[in-house]
Structure 1
Amino acid sequence: MKQGRSVAIIVVALAIGFAAGFMVRPVIGPAAGDVAAPRATQYFAANLDQARETVAGCREGTVRGDECAHAEEAIIAAEGRSRTKAFLGTRPH
């Protein structure tokens, strides 16, 4: 009998906590519509310093989502262009 009462108390406590979580969620987290769209690869290509900061934030875990991939793509493309330019150098015509 005591075990049945304990199970009932646990189930009720979980139900109350679950319901409270749904009510408090808008207060503790941003609403789905308020999330800004991730910046595109073109933005990061034009702002390489910002891209490097974003990639550092991704590694630390403070930045998440598509911006990590976009920033990394921009950095890889810029480094590729730099390496190609260094390899080819300036050739006389």
Structure 2
Amino acid sequence: NNVAEYEGLVAGVKWVVANHPQASLDIQMDSLLIVNQIKGIFKVKNPGLQPLYHQAKALLSQLPSYSISHTYREGNSLADSLVNEALDAHLE
């Protein structure tokens, strides 16, 4: 779900900005769409994603530098299992 991916990105960057504002951030995501949108390769056509995109970009602009890259879900198994655990706990 792209909304959840963006919400996770926003929450993570918001935490970094609040707690480590001078950090250079290296973001790895399994959503190729969002990676390409943040990089400016793809436009954000979905109106439901546009506010989250703008919020993410505004937060990222507060950092001295950042990079964002795509990783396959298989290479990101720890993050994927943590998200599934959190979702399961939320649904209970």
- Considering the TM-score relative to the shorter chain, is it more than 0.5? no
Structure with greater proportional strand content: 2
Larger helix fraction of residues: 1
Q: TM-score, normalised by structure 2?
A: 0.30
